[in-house]
Structure 1
Amino acid sequence: MTEPVLNKEQTDTSIRITGESVEGQETVLNEGALSLLEVLCREFADEVPKLLAARKAKQAVIDGGSLPDFLPETRAIRDGDWQIRGIPDDLTDRRVEITGPVDRKMIINALNANVKVFMADFEDSLAPSWSKVIEGQINLRDAVRGEIEFTAPETGKHYALKDDPAVLVCRVRGLHLIEKHVEFNGKPIPGSLFDFCLYFYHNYRQLLAKGSGPYFYIPKLESHVEARWWAKVFAFVEERFCLTPGTIKCTCLVETLPAVFEMEEILYELRSNIVALNCGRWDYIFSYIKTLKNHPDRVLPDRQAVTMDKPFLSAYSRLLIKTCHKRGALAMGGMAAFIPAKDPAQNEAVLAKVRGDKELEARNGHDGTWVAHPGLADTAMSIFNEYIGEDHVNQLHITRDVDAPILARDLLLPCDGERTEAGMRLNIRIALQYIEAWINGNGCVPIYGLMEDAATAEISRTSIWQWIQHKQKLSNGKLVTKDLFKEMLVEELANVKLEVGPDRFTRGSYTQAAVLLEQITTSDELVDFLTLPGYEILTQAD
């Protein structure tokens, strides 16, 4: 018998559900889950605006001409002799991880793939409509219980879990995102607390019973103070449920430029719960643009030219490995956003690019990597098998102590490369199609052979914003201005219509997407995340 859901008509709790009822929501929005959510909001929600205000204050200093650097006040932590608490057995081998949104078919295919871990994503690859957020929690609950299955309505094909699925890790939303369909004391709650609470509450017993645990990916941290907030959340929940300290485990994505200067401090604050850091490369490139937006000497070239062999990205990868292994944590590599091609020759070209990328990561000493499509898993797995060898399950033994010290200037080096008209037009088409998909509820979209999510779309639109602001010229001599962008936007909107066809264009929201893209690209102040105004459009129908 399911517990009753507390809905918007009930007033005996400070938690209020304002979203329309979703089929099956009573299984996840039951009394116990909402009781935990209420106490988490009471204890921790008020700190989130303060953490976000601290981000803005730090950014204002950088906008004024300063550059990020390692913190002098935390030198003792960096110089100290300490280790993280430890890594559970089922997280010691993470040589290939697949990521994707929390729809039912995706979860089954990902857990069945030739990978060690599936990161189920409530963040960059999910457009968080109320129905998708609730359905995602239901789907994960069923997956943990081994009860998830799916029959495709169009083909009748049946999907079910294999006997030995990948380890499940849940990525919650970032601190900047709210869940507007749940209010605490009349205010929308942090989306991160909602995602964490429901996944933990409904799954921790079953996960622990089968030798795993409640594992999380934490995105978009910008400071060790934010990591401390998460550490307090974890410790509070562990104590409330009489769990051994360190039962909850997390991996933090280092995908913001400010965070790369506080990696040791982040590990230290979360040392009871953390097991790894991850090179979230696409968001990191976006954050490089966003953080250094007022610095004309740090303008990036075409997105396609900003590859992991560039000095500032190589320094980021190597420092993360050295930092993690020094403290006993795993160092995860980044995303291969390619998707397999149907044409054999094209597919071989795709796999060659994936091999080169993954060989660089494995050679640097990463313990594992990400893919966005099951068709790339075997390629990534073979490379990491080769580098890890038969005697190890990771590369924690690689210390990189022979490296010269990686200094702040190494992490901030300008990036060479052309800014081309073709690159600018491609950015416009990618951003247009991604925003159109996102505001219609799809946060993970194959576009031109790549699996695009919010991070890659962010690079596309902020690159153009940066070129406009700093009066950059394209390789053909054209000055990038707001007017040039608007002209290209009209032309590329027409090209997208030709690509998708008039019927799909008419049924879609491409014009609405173009309006939003124009607003955020020509704004004098950089819009922090396209998902913030996008969320308002997405949830208008909720």
Structure 2
Amino acid sequence: MIMEGFGTYGTTPGGRRQVGVQGYDVPEGVEIRGRYDGEFARILTREAVQFVAELQREFRNRIRYALECRKEAKRRYNDGALPGFDPATKYIREGDWVCAAVPPAVADRKVEITGPVERKMIINALNSGAKVFMADFEDALSPSWENLMRGQVNLKDAVNGTISFHDKARNRVYKLNDQTAKLFVRPRGWHLPEAHILVDGEPLTGCLMDFGFYFFHNYEAFRRIQGGGFGPFFYLPKMEHSREAKIWNCIFEKAEKMAGIERGSIRATVLIETLPAAFQMDEILHELRDHSVGLNCGRWDYIFSYVKTFQAHPDRLLPDRVLVGMTQHFMKSYSDRLIWTCHRRGVHAMGGMAAQIPIKDDPAANEAALDLVKKDKQREVRAGHDGTWAAHPGLIPACLEVFNNNMGNSPNQIQTAKREEAANLTEEDLLQRPRGVRTMEGLRLNTRVGIQYLAAWLTGSGSVPLYNLMEDAATAEISRVQNWQWLRYGVELDGDGLGVRVSKELFFRVVEEEMARVEREVGKARFNKGMFKEAGKMFTRQCTAPTLDDFLTLDVYNNIVVHYPKFASSRL
């Protein structure tokens, strides 16, 4: 029975008091401290909350242990150790095993579009002509209560085919086409808590919330409508070790048992976006072999992870972020190793993100940007990737053309692109130091992008168009950790800053000047109304901190948490 007839109160980030009149019906030991909403109550049913709470109780100790293992690995790297292949699992790397066959519904993944779980975005992405849409609860979403819960409502409507959106400004209604992309969902990483739901007095693990509610409400309809008897399908982020893949495998098995569906129905692609995970590709696939549909080159987070892993190694400083592309030897080696590993195990090897967005007011610049995208996609498909990512619907036709021209009628290259030479790639290949200059403009761009992204994230936007690129948390992380690294080691700049060393005094001046530039670019009214000043302070603090924070978003997460009274989720 739901409590009614009383007020529940909360405060928005702007200080405005909000009032509700109902609470959620929840099982024993669970508190929901997010705002009550009738649509959210469709997701937060007693049975769904019970399922998610059971996941939390069963797996929280294993998740906690996995995160402790990450800390121990960081201590080793900070003491001078390097990531490498684990001798204890050599038998897995050298074994002849394969993963379960790829489901026919997702055999063709030539182009995948990604974006947050916003209503209009979901419709446009599913209608984009891409083979797959990855709906993102992670790097492309600011994880406010409103965004997360509306995302669950939106996905439920999308799976059922009832989703629509009325754009009042354009007086246009958006609906799904008859043919749509296949839907994958990316939950948050292990490290992010969900502070609005407490289980036994502790915050729920964010990814269990994202996975649990989506699976509970959608598995049956998804398998019937989109999955051809399989699914739902997921992307799994931020792993550093196969023990984390094993936890996910057990979660999938528990969910399948609860739902009464066949083992191996749920399928997932793992993003290899941390440097330690590059040495665990076989082991990760082995743990998920009945639930796997491949690996993905999450290259932006991978660059971020390279700096984080080597934060105590002054001999491994990155050049300007725009120079750390897939032609760098350590990046090419990572891509080649991923392709070889996936195809040897019978699953997809997915390429990286094309972050460009159309430049509407400059046809020449737009054509040049599109040409860069095509060249990057040609590199990927010729290397053996089975598909690629794009951040904007406008890139889909060009990307699809490149893959179709190179692959013909084949849905993938699993059987044809083996890249056997990648079997000989060594630890040194995967760890080779990147090359290139470090410039004042690189420092300025990092600062400008990092502050603007954080300002948007604090106000609810996790996917932000900046300077003709779609920025998300991964690219903002590169900006942050690179600034931190250059400051920590007093990097001597090249180019216009030749001979100048990066110091706190220099950085504070750069922040001040770039804040002024941002104000000019966005306009004074928007600048003062937004969170730019607060973001500038937070970003500066993180870049100058004596110890590098593991994640930008984890450090500032409490700034978007809005708690409502405990009794808002009580039962009579």
Task: Give the TM-score category using the shorter length.
Answer: over 0.9
| Residue 520 of structure 2 is aligned to residue 489 of structure 1 | no
Q: Deviations over 1:420-478 (max 9, x none)?
A: 10111011000010000001110000000000000000001111111111221111111
Query: Comparing 43-52 with 195-204, which one deviates more in the overlay?
Result: 43-52
Q: Deviations over 1:194-247 (max 9, x none)?
A: 000011011100011225021111000000000001111111111122211100
Matches within 5 A, 1:120-269: 120-210=135-225, 212=227, 213-269=231-287
Amino acid corresponding to residue 423 of structure 1 in structure 2: G
Provide TM-score, normalisation by structure 2. 0.92
Contact 2:182–2:226 (Cα < 8 Å) also in 1: no
Name the residue aligned to 2:288.
270
Matches within 5 A, 1:452-467: 452-467=471-486
Name the residue aligned to 2:559.
537
Q: Secondary structure at the match of 2:174?
A: strand
Query: Comparing 529-538 with 105-114, which one deviates more in the overlay?
Result: 529-538
Contact 1:363–1:387 (Cα < 8 Å) also in 2: yes
Name the residue aligned to 1:113.
128
1:81/1:510 CA distance change after superposition, 3 Å: same
1:427 to 419, 432, 446: 446
Separation in structure 2 between the aligned mates of residue 77 and residue 5 of structure 1, nearest angstrom: 54
1:148/1:176 CA distance change after superposition, 3 Å: same
Q: Secondary structure at the match of 1:472?
A: coil
1:12/1:413 CA distance change after superposition, 3 Å: closer
Separation in structure 2 between the aligned mates of residue 5 and residue 56 of structure 1, nearest angstrom: 43
Cα drift, residue 38 of structure 1: 1.6
Contact 1:301–1:419 (Cα < 8 Å) also in 2: yes
Query: Comparing 505-514 with 209-218, which one deviates more in the overlay?
Result: 209-218
Separation in structure 2 between the aligned mates of residue 326 and residue 225 of structure 1, nearest angstrom: 21
Q: Deviations over 1:355-401 (max 9, x none)?
A: 11111111110000000000000110001111111244444421111
| Residue 367 of structure 2 is aligned to residue 348 of structure 1 | yes
Cα drift, residue 288 of structure 1: 0.3
Name the residue aligned to 2:111.
96
Separation in structure 2 between the aligned mates of residue 150 and residue 143 of structure 1, nearest angstrom: 11
Amino acid corresponding to residue 388 of structure 2 in structure 1: T
Separation in structure 2 between the aligned mates of residue 39 and residue 454 of structure 1, nearest angstrom: 30
| Percent of aligned pairs with the same amino acid | 46
Name the residue aligned to 1:377.
396
Q: Secondary structure at the match of 1:319?
A: helix
Cα drift, residue 13 of structure 1: 1.4
How many residues in Structure 1 have an aligned counterpart in Structure 2?
540
1:138/1:11 CA distance change after superposition, 3 Å: closer
Contact 2:98–2:346 (Cα < 8 Å) also in 1: yes
Separation in structure 2 between the aligned mates of residue 211 and residue 251 of structure 1, nearest angstrom: 17
| Residue 56 of structure 2 is aligned to residue 41 of structure 1 | yes
Name the residue aligned to 1:525.
547
Q: Secondary structure at the match of 1:451?
A: strand
Cα drift, residue 402 of structure 1: 3.6
Contact 1:329–1:396 (Cα < 8 Å) also in 2: no
Name the residue aligned to 2:461.
442
1:25 to 11, 19, 40: 40
| Residue 79 of structure 2 is aligned to residue 77 of structure 1 | no
| Residue 354 of structure 2 is aligned to residue 336 of structure 1 | yes
1:403/1:232 CA distance change after superposition, 3 Å: closer
| Residue 347 of structure 2 is aligned to residue 325 of structure 1 | no
Cα drift, residue 8 of structure 1: 6.4
Q: Secondary structure at the match of 1:46?
A: helix
Name the residue aligned to 2:570.
none
Contact 1:4–1:26 (Cα < 8 Å) also in 2: no
Which consecutive aligned stretches of 4+ in structure 1 deviate over 4 angstroms post-superposition?
Answer: 3-12
Contact 1:94–1:394 (Cα < 8 Å) also in 2: no
Q: Secondary structure at the match of 2:315?
A: helix
Higher normalized contact order (CA 8 Å, seq sep 6+, divided by chain length): 2
Name the residue aligned to 2:77.
62
Cα drift, residue 534 of structure 1: 2.1
Contact 2:26–2:50 (Cα < 8 Å) also in 1: no
Cα drift, residue 251 of structure 1: 0.6
Q: Secondary structure at the match of 1:227?
A: helix
Q: Deviations over 1:251-287 (max 9, x none)?
A: 1000000000000000000111011100000000000
Amino acid corresponding to residue 145 of structure 2 in structure 1: W
Separation in structure 1 between the aligned mates of residue 57 and residue 129 of structure 2, nearest angstrom: 42
1:46/1:404 CA distance change after superposition, 3 Å: closer
Contact 2:274–2:305 (Cα < 8 Å) also in 1: yes
Unaligned runs of 5+ in 1: none
